[in-house]
């Protein structure tokens, strides 16, 4: 994988900010949905679809494509917005999120929308599906890689740990997990609801290679993904430390923004912050 040069990095960071704006607009239009997780994962999602993944948006079923499985389906606004900007479907369609007859279901559904690899929403099932996809690649001697984006909160689920055990046992080096470590879930902070730490030691104990990155640093993510590709005989977990609600000051780090959308006034404030990078630049919309 090629490293990011300065100009490209700036372009991608501007793009991820645009995706954040779109997420706010989508959630406002939908009137329901999750805010904090999608904003926190915008940088990772942008880096995945615009630099890391080997894919063809105009051929969503291209057999050799890298697979991205979104396990915590509730953050799908960021997946949908990124897929649209990548060219999988028209950007205008994003505003149909959660509405009747829309291809943008409240939680992602395979087959409903180009680019969505699996149906998800009920938590804890994505890593196993990614394992199934990675096993199929090994059986077919295919070169594609499988990435599974997971939340920290869904690590309360037993199914996840069953999957972690299986991937370690089977040395699935073509599988990379990316864990959104934003420390919040619906009922509060993860370490209060159900302590997850020490995640590094836990995954390592199950024969995974574990890396930790700043989840808002695209160069760090790209370097970690490159390292994962070079690790043989083990799956890799990248623990991405992110800020939930990233880019919108009043949403950042507040678990109360996990599962609700902004109202009209909040959306306006959020968009202004995003468009001015928190007041550091002037918005073209002013």
Partner 1 sequence: MLNPELKLNEKLFDADVEQKPTRDGYGTGLLKAGEENPNVVALCADLTESTRTEAFAKKFPDRFFEVGVAEQNMATIAAGLGISGKIPFIASYATFSPGRNYEQIRTTIAYNNSNVKIAGHHAGISVGPDGATHQATEDIAIMRAMPNMKVFVPCDALEAERATLSAVKISGPVYLRFAREKSPVITTAETPFRPGRADIYWQPSGNGKKADVAIVACGALVHAALLAAKELEKEKITAYVVNSHTVKPLDEDVILKVAERAGAVVSVEEHQVAGGLGGALAELFAKHRPIPMEFVGLNDTFGESGRPDELLEKYGMGRRDIITAIKRAMARK
Indicate the burial class of 19 (C-beta count within 10 angstroms; 0-12, 13-18, 19 or more): buried
Whether the bond into 198 is cis, omega within 30 of 0? yes
Q: If binding is defined by CB under 8 A, does position 111 make contact with partner 1?
A: yes
Q: If binding is defined by CB under 8 A, does position 133 make contact with partner 1?
A: yes
Interacting positions 63-102 with partner 1 (CB under 8 A) = 69
Q: If binding is defined by CB under 8 A, does position 137 make contact with partner 1?
A: yes
Interacting positions 169-198 with partner 1 (CB under 8 A) = 170
Name the strand (E) or helix (H) holding 20: helix 6-30
User: Closest Cα to residue 86, out of 48, 117, 120?
Assistant: 48
Secondary structure letter of residue 180 according to DSSP: E
Residue closer to partner 1 by CB (options 99, 110) is 110
Q: Which of 9, 29, 135, 193 binds partner 1 (CB under 8 A)?
A: 135
Six-digit token pair at 92? 């205008």
Q: If binding is defined by CB under 8 A, does position 159 make contact with partner 1?
A: yes
Q: Which of 78, 104, 163, 179 binds partner 1 (CB under 8 A)?
A: 163
Residue closer to partner 1 by CB (options 119, 207) is 119
Coil, strand or helix at 223: helix
Residue closer to partner 1 by CB (options 90, 111) is 111
Six-digit token pair at 55? 């894919």
Secondary structure letter of residue 233 according to DSSP: S
Q: How many CA atoms lie within 13 A of 113 on its CB side?
A: 32
How far apart CA 115 and CA 56 sit, in angstroms, is 9
**Going by C-beta distance under 8 Å and a sequence separation of 6 or more, which residues neighbour residue 2?**
none
Q: If binding is defined by CB under 8 A, does position 141 make contact with partner 1?
A: no
CB of 71 to partner 1, least distance (A): 10
CB of 159 to partner 1, least distance (A): 4
CB of 148 to partner 1, least distance (A): 10
- Pick the stretch among 24-32, 39-47, 154-162, 238-246 that binds partner 1 (CB under 8 A): 154-162
Q: 100-119 as b/e, with b when 16 or more CB fall inside 10 Å?
A: eebebbbbbbeeebebbbbb
Q: If binding is defined by CB under 8 A, does position 151 make contact with partner 1?
A: no
For the window 26-55, what string marks contact with partner 1 as x by the rule CB under 8 A? ------------------------------
Q: DSSP secondary structure string, 114-133?
A: TT--S---STT-HHHHHHHH
Coil, strand or helix at 237: strand
Q: Which of 140, 187, 191, 197 binds partner 1 (CB under 8 A)?
A: 140
Q: Which residues bind partner 1 (CB under 8 A)?
A: 69, 109-111, 117-122, 125, 128-137, 139-140, 158-159, 162-163, 165-166, 170
């Amino acid at each position: 994988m090629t490293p990011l040069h300065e100009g490209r990095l700036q372009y991608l960071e501007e793009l991820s900010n645009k995706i954040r704006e779109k997420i706010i607009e989508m959630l406002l239009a939908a009137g329901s949905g999750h805010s904090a997780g999608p904003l926190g994962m915008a940088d990772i999602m942008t880096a995945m679809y615009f630099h890391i993944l080997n894919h063809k948006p105009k051929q969503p079923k291209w057999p050799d494509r890298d697979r991205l499985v979104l396990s915590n389906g509730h953050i799908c606004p960021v997946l949908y917005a990124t897929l649209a900007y990548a060219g999988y479907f028209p950007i205008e369609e994003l505003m149909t999120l959660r509405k009747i007859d829309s291809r943008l279901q409240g939680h992602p559904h395979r087959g409903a929308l180009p680019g969505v690899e699996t149906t998800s929403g009920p938590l804890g099932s994505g890593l196993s599906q990614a394992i199934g996809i990675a096993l199929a690649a090994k059986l077919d001697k295919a070169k594609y890689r499988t990435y599974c984006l997971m939340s920290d909160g869904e690590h309360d689920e037993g199914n996840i740990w069953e999957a972690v055990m299986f991937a370690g046992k089977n040395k699935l080096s073509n599988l990379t997990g990316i864990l959104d470590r934003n420390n919040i879930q619906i009922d509060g902070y993860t370490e209060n609801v159900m302590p997850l730490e020490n995640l590094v030691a836990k995954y390592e104990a199950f024969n995974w290679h574990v890396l930790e990155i700043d989840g808002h640093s695209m160069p760090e993510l790209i370097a970690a993904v490159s390292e994962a590709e070079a690790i043989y005989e083990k799956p890799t977990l990248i623990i991405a430390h992110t800020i939930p609600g990233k880019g919108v000051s009043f949403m950042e780090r507040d678990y109360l923004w996990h599962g609700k959308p902004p109202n009209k006034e909040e959306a306006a404030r959020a968009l202004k912050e995003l468009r001015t990078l928190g007041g550091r630049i002037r918005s073209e919309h002013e």
